[in-house]
Structures are given as C-alpha cells and as structure tokens.
Chains A and B, each alone.
Chain A
Amino acid sequence: MIGGLVVLWTAAACLGGGALALAAFGLWRDLPAGPRVAYGLPLGFGLLGIAVFPLGVAGLLTASAMAALLAAGSAGLWLWRQPAPAAKVAPAVRGRGDWPWIGLVSFLLLTIGGLYLLVAAQPPTDGDSMAYHFANVRLFAEAGRVQFIPRAADGATPMTVQMTYLPPYILGGERAMTLWSAATLGGLGIQIVVFLRRAVPVAWALAGAGVLLTLPVTVYGGSSGQVEMKNAMFVLGAAFAVAEAARDGDRRHALLAGLLAGLFVGSKYLGLQFAAAAGLVLILQRRWLTSGAVYVSGVIITGISWYIWNFAHTGDPVFPVLFDLLELPDHAFWTADVHANFEERFAIEERRVPASLVWLVLYPFRVVFDPLPLFEAGRTGPGPVFALLLPFAFLGLVRFRKDAAVGDLWRALAVGVLFYALWFLIPSSQRFRHMAPVLPLVGVVFTATAWLWFDRLGRVRILVLAAAVTLGFQMAIQGGFSLPYLRHALSGESRDAFLDRMIPEYPVVRWINGHLSADDRGATQLRHALYHLRVPYLYVQPDFQALVDVRAATGDVDRFLAQLRAQGVTHLIATPHEPGPGYTGMAASLVADGTAVAVADFDTPVMISRTLGRNPEAPPARYQVLRLRDPGAPRP
C-alpha cells in the first residue's frame, strides 16, 4: 500500500517537475496537453535524478530530504491549471476514433501494465539489477550518501536514472523502488501514444504502444532496474524535440532536446553517442549556430554531473575509457595492467563482428532472424515487428515525405539511425540491448508511416494482421515470463523460498546473511545475488577492478591475500578448484596451505532461465564459504 502511494507521489513529482522546467524556458504555455506530458514526464523524471545526486553527495539521503524533493516537484502540477492549446492532428486521422477497438486495445494495455507491476511487486531477481542497478541504490541509501564505487562499467558510471530509485526506496522500501522502476514504462507508453497520435488514429496509437511495450527485450528488463527503457523516454523525447527545432528553428525546442539528450548522457556513456547524433541532425538547418549552442548548453546542464564525479575520483571523466589517452598513473583500483586486460577482454567478450559498413547493414537483420549468442537477442530481442513493418514504413516515408508530420518522422528517424551508426562503428559492446533505447523511436516512425501507406492503399487489414500476430506472440512471452512471479504472488510462498527458486546461488547468500556480521566482509563473484547480501561485501570482478587483482592469469597468492586483508575481507565465496591462477585458483591455494578454511559447502542447481526453471540434466554447481584464519598472520 505504502509502496503504491510513494510511486504515485514520485510520478506526480516527475510530472510537476517537468512542467516547472518547461515553464522555466517558456515552452509550457505553447504546448498542447499531450506534448506537455510526452516532454515533461521524461524531463521531470531525469531532473529528479539530477536533483537527488548532489543531495546524495552531501550525505542528505534522508526521508525528509527525499520528501521535500518530491513535494517541490509535485508543486509544479499547479501549472496544469493553465489551459493547453489544441493539439495538431493530421486532418486525415481526426475524428476516426473506433471505440470497440479503442476499448479492446485499452484492455490489453491494462493487462500488459498489470503484468509488469505484478512482476515488479515480487522480490527482485534480475541479474544486472542485483549486481548494480538496485544494489548500488541500496548501498547508497544505507550509507546515507552517494559513494564512489571503484569498479568500471557498473560502479564508476553515470547513474542519473538509478538516482530516481532513491526517493521511493528511502520513503517506501524495496517494493516502492521496484514498482517505481516498472511504472516508468507507463511514461514511455504515454509518449508513444502522443507521438503516434500526430499521424494515426487513437486505436492505432494505443496498439503501437501495446506492441512496443511488449517487445521481448522490454519484457526482459521492464520490471527490473535496468535503464534501457528509461533511457528510451529521453531518446524519444529528444528526437522529436530535435525534429521540431529543426523544422521551426525554435530554440526552446533545441534546449529541450539538449536537456533530454543530456539526461541520457548522465545515465549511460552511450548517451554521448546519442547526444552527438541528435546534435548533428539538429544543426542541419538555417539557424544552426544558435540552435546548436543552445542544444549543447542543454546537454551540459543535465549530462555533466556524473562525469565531474568520475573525474574527481579517477582523473578520467569517462572512466576507464581515457585512462591511456590521459596517461593516468596507477590507482589502487585501476592500473595499466588491469586496463590492458580490460581492453583485451572487451574486444573478445563484447564484439563478434567487424565494425564495417557491411555489418552495419547486416546487424539488425541478424539480430531479428539469426542472432549470434553474444548479441543476446534471441529470447530477449526486438521481436518481429520492425522486420514486418520495414518495407511499408519505407514506402510511407517516401510517399508522404512532403507531409509536415512525416517530415518530423524523417528527422526523428535520422537521429535514431545516426545514433545506431555511431554506436556500431565506434567500437562498442555489440550486445543488442544497448540499442534498446532507440527501439520505441524507430517503432513510432515505422508504425505511423506503415499505417499511412496501408490507409492510402485502403488495406489496413494487413496491418491489423501484423499487429495482432505480433501482440499475441509478445503478450504470450510476457505471460510466460510473469508466471513464476504470479505463482509466488498467489501461493503464499516465503520470500526465501521464492528467491531459492529464482536465484540458484541464493542459499549461499542466505547462509552468509545468517552467519556473518557487520564486522565481517565477504569477497564474492556472485554478481546476480549482491543486492540480497545483508552484510558488507566486496565484489571481486575479474576485469573491472584492481582492488583485489583476480584476473584469469594472476597467480600471486601473497599479493592476493594482502589485498583481501587490506579490504577487510574475512570470508570468500568461491567454487572448489585446484590451486592455480584466478580467483578460484588462488582461493584454493589459500585452502591448500591452511590460510583459509571451508566453513560451508553448497550444491546449487543450474537454471535454464528464470522462466524455464532448473536444468535437471546439468550437474549442480558447487560453492564454498571460506574463512580466512588468523587475520594478519603470514601464509605458512
């Protein structure tokens, strides 16, 4: 109950905060109701994260500070008293409300939203959320301040979106945070409907939202703390603001685009490539210099804070990307050796195909029809909708290119395509989900232009078939994904029993929580269980940190032990192994020479997936909890 109320209050603060920001630069009064929400909601959402961050740095992560922040944002709802001008809707789609269809699709949307909230209301289990999205938020809330986490990729990284989880977590606890994270999809859904409504009838705008909110990749991350679909709100808003700014030369839209692009920059390094893409499309107009300057100012205002934070702690604003270029000295948490290993591992583990023009074209098709395992795009891919709509969207874009609404769609699509090209050609991780933020934008453009083409042809029924097939398939996937959570919600199963079922290594975590105290510290590589640890821990990631050097080839056990002790580690969670290099090998060396002793053993099942459950054919995975003997004593 309290969780739901906190979520509603946080949403009100975002809506109000966005209204205040839009009013501050004079755009509010000229926006119809739909764009007020479609632009104001992501803006207010991101600004909430921007506002929480300095409070966190100042050690003010308290319930009263969070409540004051939400109250200040909510005050902006007062601006809604100001009447909004009428929306511009293409004459062809005005008055084509089809009530039975609107009713049916609205029912489906409510079902989709209900399933997301149902999953989010159960204890969190998503791997990345357990490793950092929610885990870092919990660390910050318990410390009462934002702390520097000396780990690349998931520690020292922009976290504007995760900052928005702090007010719900502090005011309403875990369930408020997880519900809030899922509820943000509602904001994305509203944006999709508003931008689609400019070109298509209401029922189709709602159907488009239904399809785009159930893409397999959205189902996979939508109920978790993952940031992709939150960043999609910034992408969608910024791309259409760019389109409007480029069309009219209105600098207020250029500033809005910059602020929204900056929020993506402040949420993920990938946002830098997006901001560059949006900026390039924006300056293709007559008033490019002033609009460009205003846009860049916006990006800096909302995007820079985490880069200053990283620079202050590491000397590298984009840690660890510029480590070599800036010729930085070794830190306790990052060294030249570790950096070389990081770059080598990145090239091996994150990239499979060349960053060539041929693969730039082929990659989306491989992702849809025959993804390589590294792309992680099979069960968690984009679904069939983009391939289904591609030829008709292209025909619509060409046929109606002179329409004002389609002109905006062209510009918005250009932002998305350029972003994709920059992402692909500048060596980045080729995991498909990094492109997930651009999918709703492409989906809006494809849906609108395909509908225009079929409508002119007088054969919209083909599009109905494509939408029905896609939505049916995707909702079936969402239903299957939600089943384990539904079972927990209906069965009265305990939290521990549920987590035992969903996170195979959870019994180890349970033992640690029951046997270690706040004076102990456990070293672990169980990244997808970190959030559930209730005692101090050190995540000994092999490639992203140097506090305890556990790279695969590292075998200096004395140094390993010294680094563990320097970090106050008393226990290790490790897989039984022969003595040798790497974390498990060196842990085994400590056991072999008597420096550490096994105090608990576990056989844990191997999962096919959270949805499909355990793999009965795979032998169990083994874990041990090791206790370091005689702190301070040398090895025998």
Chain B
Amino acid sequence: MTRRFSKKGAEALALLWVVGTTLAYLAQFRDLLDTVLAVLGR
C-alpha cells in the first residue's frame, strides 16, 4: 500500500515537473509567437 502510494506520488510529482518545466520554458517565446503570427498574417 505504502509502496504503491509512493510510486503514484513519485509519478504525480514527475508529471508535475515535466508539465511545469515545459510551460516555464515555453513562456520565454511569447514575444516570438507574436512575431511569427505577424509574419504569417502578412
């Protein structure tokens, strides 16, 4: 029971890290996205 919980907990934390890190990384490209959209809209 404890082992299953710790595995599930580890998996949830790992998933949180992957999602959070990806979003934090992508946040720096907000300005670039505006530029890309402007270029595509030309």
A387 touches B25 (CB 8 A): yes
> Is B18 within 8 A of A465, CB to CB?
yes
Instruction: Name A462's closest neighbour in chain B (CB-CB).
Output: B14
A467: min CB distance to chain B, Å: 10
Q: Chain B interface: which of A225-233, A501-509, A608-616?
A: A608-616
Q: Known interface pairs A457-B7, A458-B7, A466-B18. Does A612 touch B35 (Cβ–Cβ under 8 Å)?
A: yes
A469 at the interface (CB under 8 A from B): yes
Q: Which residues of B contact A473 (CB under 8 A)?
A: 26
Q: Is the CB of A459 within 8 A of B32?
A: no
From B7, B18, B36, give the contact of A388 (CB < 8 A): B18
- Is the beta-carbon distance between A462 and B21 smaller than 8 angstroms? no
Cβ-defined contact, B11 with A388, below 8 A: no
User: Given A369-B25, A469-B22 in contact, is the A392-B14 Cβ separation under 8 Å?
Assistant: yes
Most buried by B among A371, A457, A613: A457
B7, B17, B24, B35 pick with most chain A CB within 10 angstroms: B17
Smallest CB separation, A452 vs chain B (Å): 14
The proximity string for A residues 459-475 relative to B, scoring 1 for CB distances below 8 Å and 0 otherwise, is 10010011001000100
A350 within 8 A of B: no
**A248 in contact (CB, < 8 A):** no
**Considering the chains assembled together, what is the distance between the CA atoms of A411 and B38 in angstroms?**
48
Is B15 a contact of A369 with CB atoms below 8 Å? no
Q: Are A462 and B39 in contact (CB under 8 A)?
A: no
- B36 CB to closest chain A CB (Å) equals 7
Q: Is B28 an interface residue (CB 8 A)?
A: yes
A480 to B10, CA, bound (A): 36
Is the pair A608, B39 in contact by a Cβ cutoff of 8 Å?
yes
Shortest distance from the beta carbon of A474 to any chain B beta carbon, whole Å: 11
The answer to whether residues A384 and B25 also contact, given A379-B32, A462-B18, A612-B35 and a CB cut-off of 8 A, is yes
Distance between Cα atoms of A466 and B22 in the complex (Å): 9
Query: Which residues from 475 to 502 on chain A have a C-beta closer than 8 Å to any C-beta of chain B?
Result: none
CB neighbours of B7 from chain A (8 A): 457-459
The yes or no answer to A370 lying at the interface (CB within 8 A) is yes
Count of residues in B whose CB is under 8 Å from the partner chain: 20
CB neighbours (8 Å) of A369 from chain B are 24-25, 27-28
Q: Is A418 an interface residue (CB 8 A)?
A: no
Q: Which residue from A378, A387, A457, A612 sits with its C-beta under 8 Å from B10?
A: A457
* Interchain CB contact (< 8 A) of A613 among B22, B25, B29, B39: B39
B contact patch SS: helix
- Distance A46 CA – B32 CA, assembled complex (angstroms): 38
With A459-B10, A459-B11, A616-B42 as given contacts, are A378 and B32 in contact (CB-CB < 8 Å)?
yes
Residues of chain B within 8 A of A54, CB atoms compared: none
B21 and A384 within 8 A (CB): yes
A616 to B7, CA, bound (A): 54
In angstroms, Cα B22 to Cα A198, docked, is 28
Complex-state Cα separation, A379 to B29, whole angstroms: 8
Question: In the complex, A226 Cα to B21 Cα: how many Å?
Answer: 30
Which residues of A sit under 8 angstroms from B25, Cβ to Cβ? 368-369, 383-384, 387
Q: Determine if A612 and B21 form an interchain contact, defined as CB atoms under 8 angstroms apart.
A: no
Residues of B within 8 A of A383 (CB): 25
Q: Considering only CB atoms, which chain A residue lies closest to B6 in the complex?
A: A457
The answer on a CB contact under 8 Å between A459 and B39 is: no
Q: How far is the CB of A362 from chain B (nearest CB, A)?
A: 15
Residues in B with CB closer than 8 Å to A613 are 39
Name A368-389 residues within 8 Å CB distance of B.
Answer: 368-371, 378-379, 383-384, 387-388
* Residue in chain B with minimal CB distance to A379: B32
**A377 to B, closest residue via Cβ:** B28
Closest Cβ of chain B: how far from A574's Cβ, in Å?
30
Please measure, in the bound complex, the distance between the C-alpha atom of A458 and the C-alpha atom of B18, giving whole angstroms.
17
Docked Cα-Cα span, A55 to B24, in Å, equals 51
A462 to B22, CA, bound (A): 13
Could you say which residues of chain A place their CB within 8 Å of the CB of B28? 369-371, 378
Closest to B31 in A: A378
CB neighbours of B10 from chain A (8 A) = 457, 459
Establish whether residues B21 and A387, one from each chain, have CB atoms under 8 Å apart when the complex forms: yes
Measured CA separation A616–B10 after assembly (Å): 50
Q: In the complex, what residues of A have CB within 8 A of residue B11's CB?
A: 457, 459, 462
CB distance from A458 to the nearest CB of B (A): 7
**Contact residues in A for B15 (Cβ distance below 8 Å):** 462, 465
Q: How far is the CA of A608 from the CA of B31 in the complex (A)?
A: 13
The answer to whether A391 has its CB under 8 Å from any CB of chain B is yes
B6 shortest CB reach to chain A, Å: 9
Alpha-carbon distance A369/B24, docked complex (angstroms) = 7
Query: Which residues in window 426-472 of A have CB below 8 A to B?
Result: 454, 457-459, 462, 465-466, 469
Please give me the 4 A-B residue pairs with the lowest Cβ-Cβ distance, nearest first. A384-B25, A459-B11, A462-B14, A466-B18
**Sample of 29 A–B contacts (CB below 8 Å):** A368-B25, A369-B24, A378-B29, A378-B32, A379-B32, A383-B25, A384-B21, A384-B22, A384-B25, A384-B26, A387-B25, A388-B18, A388-B22, A391-B17, A457-B7, A457-B10, A458-B7, A462-B11, A462-B14, A465-B15, A466-B18, A469-B22, A473-B26, A608-B35, A608-B39, A612-B35, A612-B39, A613-B39, A616-B42
